[in-house]
Structure 1
Amino acid sequence: MSGKQDETGADGYRPLLFSIAYGMTGSVGDAEDIVQDAFLGLTRARLAGTVIADPKAYMATAVTRLGIDHLRSARVRRETYVGDWLPEPVVVSAERPGPAEHAELADALSMAFLVLLESLSPVERAVFMLREVFGYGHADVARITGKSEANCRQILTRARRRVAEGGRTRRGEAPAARRARGEELARRFFEAAEGGDMDALLDMLAPDVVLHGDGGGRARSIGRPATEPRRVARMLVTGLRRLRMFGLSLRPAWINGGPGVVMHDAEGRVAGVLGLDIAEGRVLAIHSVVNPDKLHHLGPVSDVARLPGK
């Protein structure tokens, strides 16, 4: 098989590789850089005469290990992050269908799920992702991470326990049915929020709903997560009313495997993303990302919410 054919075959694994890298980092840009670095490593290995018998396994290993290294350095930066840290949103909409590796992102990588993974160490996160999200066998997880199989089983048990303690995840419903129900609930939810219908909002919010806001010290956002349904509903109504005053509009989108909206200013620039985490017909969490550094991959970014001098 020629090198060009090999390269084409490996290129077909980009959706999987992007999903692994994004699941590790929570960053679209960093995930794309990691995948590109892995492909450069593959090219160098071939030029050095290395025979790659299984390009998929080789690339998955490279991306996972690069992700572990990246996350170790990112942890230091996140300790000094201003406010609530949220992943960069992966958005699929009519206006922005997105490249295949984004559109095929596993539904399991929801905003809420990625936030839960922040409680894990880099190696725990890799083991958990490979086994629970991508279905790798224990032997393959051990090979990819460079750990013994027995050690990986111990790491997985510990990671499962920590994730289970951290919160709920969506399970049990077929993807198509869940999407249809989610989009309908989101439509009613944002109509109620924009219309100031507190009773309708309260009917759709879970008793332990949480509102997260990520401005990163660069844009106006809540300083810490907000809880209690009535408070969350009031903040949503007030916030969306203020956004309307600045000429912002909401466009439905599918965000990290869940329903939500992308906020645009009067010039069509992206001002933020609101994603909903839904289970059993109720909104469990709302994730608002307005940090401009986390929106550039979605297009030109608005300065409506930007803090002075940022």
Structure 2
Amino acid sequence: MPGSTDGTEAAGLRPLLFSIAYGMTGSVGDAEDIVQDAFLGLTRAHRAGTAIADLKPYLTTTVTRLGINHLGSARVRRETYVGEWLPEPVVVSVDRHGPAEHAELADSLSMAFLVLLESLSPMERAVFVLREVFEYGYPEVARFTGKSEVNCRQIFSRARQRVAAGAKAPDSAPPPERRAESEELARRFFEAAEGGDMDALLGMLAPDAVLYGDGGGRTRTIGKPVTEPRLGAQLLVGGFRLGRGLGASLRPVLVNGRPGVVWQDAEGRVISVIELDIADGVVQAIRSVSNPDKLRHLGPVSDVALLPGK
């Protein structure tokens, strides 16, 4: 068994390890499972008498390779996924308090960014996340992935080109001095959506704003992205109007570092999580996750939007 010193150090690494696993998988549940498996492996190594000189690279290597293996099997499931795929949302309160495991989740791991990473192979994604998001040097990336430094440089270059090719616009979190501005815009946006104020909504939407919905084929949501802002606004207003009649409400939160809300029913159960991409003073994209399998880590999930038999 690990000694108390090792146990304390390992526990302190959990937020970093979770962030790496989440960046690789886009799934809170899978990331937590990968980190747990890494800790179980550490326990087995100690029991076998294995000497571990430095826990951080040891556990980072374990999580990285478990993540690569997981992505290989997950790719098959993604190819048969019903409707639009979005990552499982990481939600914290607007004062940035949340689970300790999410403390080191980089603002760069937005939903839009994680969707772009879906175009990468498992190894490309591992190298890109380690290098681009967590800024590890190539010697470390090579150690974690089991590839040579030269190979890692080639993989990273190829991955960066593919991600750049799929990006609509640079995706970066607002600087600290603009966060309050973005959160205020989000507050007014959702207030207008709940109140049915179409003119106010359209005034806050970019001309090419897109509405995305992920219900996994199990909830009432849009089947494909809505690229007409007026139609997207109408769908939001209509959905919130129906929800209001059932006693539903919106709770302001941060979703993957961006302003958003948790939409919950009269009993406080989660219906969906909605994230706003805000840039240049307007909403560029709206992403709504209502697939219950992607919301269970947030607490009880509502059944008000479930399709019959789902």
- CA contact 2:94–2:254 (8 Å) conserved in 1: no
Letter in 1 for 2:41: G
Find the counterpart in structure 2 of residue 253 from structure 1. Answer: 253
RMSD: 1.6
Shift of 1:171: 3.5
- Cα offsets for 1:203-253 (capped at 9, x unmatched): 221222111101111111110111122222222222221221222111100
Cα 1:193–1:203, aligned 2, differ >3 Å: closer, same or farther?
A: same
Find the counterpart in structure 1 of residue 43 from structure 2. Answer: 43
Find the counterpart in structure 1 of residue 239 from structure 2. Answer: 239
1:210 matched to 2:189? The reply is: no
Shift of 1:163: 1.0
Q: Answer with 55-64 or 41-50: which moved more.
A: 41-50
- When normalised by structure 1's length, the TM-score is 0.95
Shift of 1:96: 9.8
Letter in 1 for 2:145: T
- CA contact 1:92–1:103 (8 Å) conserved in 2: no
Cα 1:304–1:103, aligned 2, differ >3 Å: closer, same or farther?
A: farther
1:13 matched to 2:5? The reply is: no
Cα 1:278–1:194, aligned 2, differ >3 Å: closer, same or farther?
A: same
Q: Name stretches of at least 5 consecutive residues in structure 2 with no aligned partner.
A: none
Superposed, which structure 2 residues align to 1:1-310 within 5 Å? 3-93=3-93, 97-167=97-167, 168-171=169-172, 173-174=174-175, 176-310=176-310
Shift of 1:143: 1.0
- CA contact 1:131–1:137 (8 Å) conserved in 2: yes
- CA contact 1:91–1:98 (8 Å) conserved in 2: yes
Distance in 2, matches of 1:154 and 1:234, equals 46
- CA contact 2:18–2:31 (8 Å) conserved in 1: yes
Distance in 2, matches of 1:71 and 1:9, equals 28
Distance in 1, matches of 2:294 and 2:134, equals 25
Letter in 2 for 1:53: A
Distance in 2, matches of 1:246 and 1:96, equals 29
Q: Name stretches of at least 5 consecutive residues in structure 1 with no aligned partner.
A: none
Shift of 1:181: 1.9
Q: Secondary structure in 1 aligned to 2:120?
A: coil
Letter in 2 for 1:170: D
Cα 1:172–1:27, aligned 2, differ >3 Å: closer, same or farther?
A: closer
Letter in 1 for 2:172: R
- When normalised by structure 2's length, the TM-score is 0.95
Q: Secondary structure in 2 aligned to 1:283?
A: strand
Distance in 1, matches of 2:174 and 2:105, equals 18
Q: Answer with 240-249 or 108-117: which moved more.
A: 240-249
Letter in 1 for 2:249: S
Letter in 1 for 2:20: I
Distance in 2, matches of 1:36 and 1:252, equals 30
Distance in 1, matches of 2:8 and 2:36, equals 14
Distance in 1, matches of 2:209 and 2:121, equals 26
- CA contact 2:21–2:35 (8 Å) conserved in 1: yes
Distance in 2, matches of 1:161 and 1:207, equals 27
Shift of 1:54: 1.3
Distance in 2, matches of 1:24 and 1:12, equals 20
Cα 1:82–1:104, aligned 2, differ >3 Å: closer, same or farther?
A: same
Shift of 1:177: 2.2
Distance in 2, matches of 1:147 and 1:223, equals 40
Shift of 1:173: 4.4
Distance in 2, matches of 1:79 and 1:52, equals 39
Cα 1:60–1:178, aligned 2, differ >3 Å: closer, same or farther?
A: farther
Letter in 1 for 2:246: F
Distance in 2, matches of 1:259 and 1:285, equals 12
Letter in 1 for 2:19: S
